[in-house]
Structure 1
Amino acid sequence: MSDLAQMPSLAPHAPETRGRSLFSLAMRRFRRNRAAIAGSIVLVLVALFSFVGPLFSDHAYDQVFPSYVSVPPSLSPRPGAETLQGAMESAVQRARVRLESFTVEGHSFTATLGADQPIDPRTTRYIDRANEFDDTTVKETQEDGRKLIVEGRVTREYFPFGTDSNGRDLLVRVMLGGQISIAVGVLASLVSLGIGVVYGATAGYLGGRIDNVMMRFVEILYSLPFVFLVVLLVVFFGRSFILIFLVIGAVEWLDMARIVRGQTLALKRREFVGAAESLGLSDWQIIRRHIIPNTIGPVVVFVTVIVPKVILLESFLSFLGLGVQAPLTSWGALIAEGANNIQSAPWLLIFPSIFFVVTLFALNFVGDGLRDALDPRDR
């Protein structure tokens, strides 16, 4: 009997089961939504384009190319071979000398300059000032200095998105606009999310006179003109990038508060809230643990709508001179500028609009996916 007791048990062990958290279940449902995954990938690509793209560009966002004003988009390098002759003639004309010959071989050029008087060797500065040429040096002097043979390098630039009316690379401008628009949209949405959710959940759960007073305060803020509020804050705190998303977020939380309040009024009558009250939880504990988590679905969807709305509000402020100022820009400011030049330079409107619309659709797909994944009824 003792030998049997010492023998190991031959009964199979029960398989170990691991519980899954609500977050892991929500992420599993989110990954099954192909549209939401595609939207997330698009948002990541747009963010990489906006924030990482400028690191690989040779042009600065405020760099002006006087020779390439309102140039249409092209994958070919500029200048073309047919325009180099005219560019050199314009450069030597400003130097008040004659262009007697001009040849181009690959990325190098050779030009012969002539004049009735001896030519100052510093005349090559006029050639270097043109965007097409650089590193111009005097190779040979003839006829007692009245003829110079100069050589230099042909500078070729790429403008896949074209240039604007000031000669700035639109590709880099769209990247910079994406940085500011995405930053303002996300930060302002977070401000409105933080204020609106807490305010609306508190008003809806407490109810009674407190709810009445809190919502009357919201209606008073609704009655204030948005532009007047912005001007007032700019006068007191000065114009800054941080003020832009603070002002927009301080206004957009009103809609968020009303939505969360409506959800809270429906949730406060549910059985789990009554069970939490019977356990002796305080009002703030019930709001934080039960009310706010169950309003995440509609809130997330509303946040995805706020972001493009905030981008448009930011462009409106920039148009009034209260937002982003030149040479900084945003997608909204680029779209407004492109709308004014739609007949002469339609690419100024097309490219920023494409990025804005793509970002809008991606946010909507991600919002729908998060709503379905975080819906308490699907848990």
Structure 2
Amino acid sequence: MTDLSSTSLPDENMTTGRSLFQLAFIRFRRNTAAMAGCVMMLLIALFSYIGPLFSPHAYDQVFSSYVTIPPSLEARPDESALRGAIEGVAGRAKVKLDSFEVSGRSFTATISADAPIDPRATRYFDRANEFRDTKVVTAENEGRILKVAGQLNREYFPFGTDPNGRDLLARVMLGGQISIAVGVLASLVSLGIGVVYGATSGYLGGRVDNIMMRLVEILYSLPFVFLVVVLVVFFGRSFILIFLVIGAVEWLDMARIVRGQTLALKRREFVGAAQALGLSDWQIIRRHIIPNTIGPVIVFVTVVVPKVILLESFLSFLGLGVQAPLTSWGALISEGANNIQSAPWLLIFPSIFFVATLFSLNFIGDGLRDALDPRDR
């Protein structure tokens, strides 16, 4: 007799199958360089977009007393700089500085003149970046001698300042926002145009494909810099124009890649089944061709983003990028190259973030290429 209790039942702990996306994600997660690139890009994005919320200085704030000072973790100004600053204030106020003392974050000074001093002379102190809330404490000799006191403005410039007296740390954060935004937005523009154009050309084939590809080759022959210069002359320099121009040029490579994938896909059985069901060409392109080209497209986008950032930096280096006071890493590198001997930190800090971003994006692209490679499945 057969024992019903020993009848084999489905194993509840049986391992379920994984989808192709899950397998690709597992392979991508095992890629140490790609994961390091993701972490680095996350840190750079947080630095660029969240960092300004915690920065005490605005990107366009000018500190006339701190022009082209080197990077330091110590508070500015130091004792020697304070003495020079207070003497400069006294000279502008046309008074004599008799004494000057610093105690913590406050100061006291004694000034004198041959004629009675207008108490409003304290405004000269507050106009300097180093002092604030200056008030008259005592007046002697019929107002010819005044004792003033106020607070010291302690500023930190870990990345130093530029030739205009602006905090380089805040400028690098803003440059990261502009460069990353241009890279992502221009890549999305090239993605939207290139995928649709390439899939349509490859699927329709014949004369339509021939005409569409000849148009691509004509656009390839146009010099990129010449096209940008012409558009800038007509429309002016702006952030929107920059990523639109770059995206309108970069879609050519995307279109050719998608067209090659489409030529292979349109001979597959599922496309023939869709045609037999009576779907239109546009429905087949939208529902079957474009979704099946997403793997190579994603990999190519990770290559386009650093390429676009390089192009934007090149345009900013030539003076065709964003307008001041806005800036980008390319514009900062251009400014740093002009001052490399006198202020090398103006070139070093934006270059570090620029190179780290390019390496991270390339590592991520290599990881996606390996993860989505059908030969590794």
Mapping 1:79-228, distance limit 5 Å = 79-228=77-226
Query: 1:296, 1:374 within 8 Å by CA — same for their partners in 2?
Result: no
Mapping 1:37-76, distance limit 5 Å = 37-76=35-74
What residue number does 1:15 align with? 11
Give 1:195 deviation, angstroms: 1.1
Q: Partners of 1:8 and 1:173 in 2: how far apart? A: 77
Query: 1:43, 1:363 within 8 Å by CA — same for their partners in 2?
Result: yes
Partner SS state of residue 138, structure 1: strand
Instruction: Report Cα offsets for 1:100-134 as digits up to 9, x if no partner.
Output: 00011111111000100101111111111111111
Q: Partners of 1:77 and 1:185 in 2: how far apart? A: 36
For the pair 1:365 / 2:363, whether they are aligned, the reply is yes
Residue identity in the other structure for 2:247? G
Query: 1:113, 1:147 within 8 Å by CA — same for their partners in 2?
Result: yes
Query: 1:65, 1:168 within 8 Å by CA — same for their partners in 2?
Result: yes
Give 1:66 deviation, angstroms: 0.7
Partner SS state of residue 323, structure 2: coil
Instruction: Report Cα offsets for 1:65-118 as digits up to 9, x if no partner.
Output: 011101111111111112111110011101100000001111111100010010
Q: Which has the larger displacement, 90-99 or 268-277?
A: 268-277
Give 1:256 deviation, angstroms: 1.4
What residue number does 1:262 align with? 260
Give TM-score scaled by structure 2 length: 0.91
Q: Which has the larger displacement, 52-61 or 17-26?
A: 17-26
State which of 327, 330, 333 in structure 2 corresponds to 1:332: 330
Q: Which has the larger displacement, 368-377 or 144-153?
A: 368-377
Q: Partners of 1:112 and 1:95 in 2: how far apart? A: 13
Query: 2:316, 2:334 within 8 Å by CA — same for their partners in 1?
Result: no
5+ residue gaps, structure 2, are: none
Mapping 1:226-265, distance limit 5 Å = 226-230=224-228, 233=231, 239-265=237-263
Partner SS state of residue 222, structure 1: helix
Query: 2:321, 2:331 within 8 Å by CA — same for their partners in 1?
Result: no
Mapping 1:303-318, distance limit 5 Å = 303-318=301-316
Partner SS state of residue 135, structure 2: strand
Give 1:211 deviation, angstroms: 1.2
Instruction: Report Cα offsets for 1:40-59 as digits up to 9, x if no partner.
Output: 01111000000000000110
Query: 1:72, 1:345 within 8 Å by CA — same for their partners in 2?
Result: yes
Q: Partners of 1:8 and 1:105 in 2: how far apart? A: 92
Q: Which has the larger displacement, 42-51 or 216-225?
A: 216-225
Partner SS state of residue 74, structure 2: strand
Q: Partners of 1:79 and 1:158 in 2: how far apart? A: 9
Residue identity in the other structure for 2:153? T
After superposition, the CA RMSD in angstroms is 2.6
Identity level (%): 79
Instruction: Report Cα offsets for 1:280-324 as digits up to 9, x if no partner.
Output: 665445544554344444433332222222223223444565531
What residue number does 2:350 align with? 352
Residue identity in the other structure for 1:44? L
Q: Partners of 2:232 and 2:172 in 1: how far apart? A: 27
Q: Partners of 2:17 and 2:279 in 1: how far apart? A: 26
Query: 1:69, 1:165 within 8 Å by CA — same for their partners in 2?
Result: yes
Query: 1:39, 1:361 within 8 Å by CA — same for their partners in 2?
Result: yes
Instruction: Report Cα offsets for 1:122-159 as digits up to 9, x if no partner.
Output: 11111111111111111100110000000111111110
Q: Partners of 2:294 and 2:376 in 1: how far apart? A: 13
Partner SS state of residue 73, structure 2: strand
Query: 1:35, 1:369 within 8 Å by CA — same for their partners in 2?
Result: yes
State which of 289, 292, 299 in structure 1 corresponds to 2:290: 292
Q: Partners of 1:328 and 1:121 in 2: how far apart? A: 40
Query: 1:160, 1:171 within 8 Å by CA — same for their partners in 2?
Result: yes
Residue identity in the other structure for 1:38? A
Q: Partners of 1:24 and 1:194 in 2: how far apart? A: 26
What residue number does 1:30 align with? 28
5+ residue gaps, structure 1, are: none
Q: Which has the larger displacement, 186-195 or 14-23?
A: 14-23
Q: How many residues align?
A: 375
Give 1:264 deviation, angstroms: 3.2
Q: Which has the larger displacement, 323-332 or 229-238?
A: 229-238
